[in-house]
Amino acid sequence: MRRVITGIDDAGKSIVISDTEVPGVRPPVLGGATLIDLFGEDAIPTVPNDGSHDESRRYFPAAPEGYRFTVFSYPPQGAMTVPDDLDAAIAESARLAPGLEDAVASPDGWHYTATVDLEYVIEGEFTLYLDEGASTTLHKGDSIVHCGEKHSWVNTGNTQATMLLVFIGARQDEARFGPYKIEH
């Protein structure tokens, strides 16, 4: 995916800082999903700035001040792959998308993060699962705002499904999950 970053040079002039292709990665723990990590920081930004960012940052924000901008593409449920060696899949996923393993480290995909997630379905459909079997299906053009709840996703359609994601760092009170807390 093409990513253009703009900023301000030393003279105060608006410029294009970079115009590059950002490759996707396929962490094995996600069963065939592709992540394209576009931008993010772990501090409140000051603008204007030079458009630089840390390419080696963790996948999810590491602080309440952090944010991420990413694209998530998921194969249909029938095309998902389950890793034979979960420990090796988690290790490789951590290499490809550091920090992903903090939230998604089980083959069932259930997770929660210390973020508010703003998500928009670009193509396909995703079924969102919540506790006690609650679910809702989102289609192209739909959006969702996650407020730190435990959830999992499945692409119940017949084609690839893609979402645009913005993660905004938040403070997390895991005590609110009670018996639904995930053991990490």
Question: Closest Cα partner for 153 from 123, 109, 118?
Answer: 109
What DSSP assignment string belongs to 44-80? ---SS------TT--SS-SSTT-EEEEEEEE--GGG-
Judge whether 72 and 33 are in contact, CB under 8 Å.
yes
The span from the CA of 51 to the CA of 122, in Å, is: 26
Local confidence pLDDT in tens for the 184 residues of the chain: 999 999 998 898 999 999 999 999 999 988 899 999 999 999 998 888 888 878 888 999 989 999 999 999 999 988 888 888 988 988 999 999 998 887 776 667 788 888 999 999 999 999 999 988 899 999 999 999 999 888 988 898 999 999 999 999 999 888 887 777 776 5
3-class secondary-structure state, position 7: strand
Q: Which amino acid is at 140?
A: K
Q: Which uninterrupted H or E stretch holds 137?
A: strand 135-139
pLDDT for the residue 133:
87
Alpha-helical runs (H) found in the chain: 86-96, 100-103
pLDDT for the residue 125:
95
pLDDT for the residue 80:
86
Strand partners, 121: 163
3-class secondary-structure state, position 170: coil
